[in-house]
Amino acid sequence: MAVNTVVTEFVFAIVLIIGVIWTWPDIPIKPMLIIALLLNGTFPIFFYPYSKTIWMALDLILHPLEEREEHEVITLRRVRNSTDVK
């Protein structure tokens, strides 16, 4: 959720800055507000799977697998590969 929120607000800031620069000096408040509401309401829904993947990658970087866990992964892969129907 944290990654999703940060990326959403970053995208919103970029869109807002581009919109303000593009429409300067007569900034249309209503269209900008509608775009902001739509962006902040829909972007997190579509970005959620990617944010979850990014969060898991960050977690693995900050908390790498222990030797015991690596051994479990290797064992489970062997079992899965030996039981696959070919």
Kindly state the percentage of the chain with pLDDT values over 90.
76
Res 43: pLDDT: 95
The confidence band for 12, taking pLDDT boundaries of 50, 70 and 90, is very high
Closest CA to 45 of 3, 4, 86, 2: 4
What is the domain extent for residue 34? 2-83
Q: What is the mean pLDDT of residues 43-48?
A: 94
Res 81: pLDDT: 87
63: left (phi over 0), alpha (psi -120 to 50) or beta: beta
* Helix or strand holding residue 66 (H, E): none
The pLDDT of residue 84 is above 80: no
The pLDDT of residue 18 is above 90: yes
Average pLDDT, the chain: 91
**29-62 vs 2-23: helix axis angle to the nearest 10?**
150
Place of tokens 């944010």: 51
Domains held by the chain: number: 1
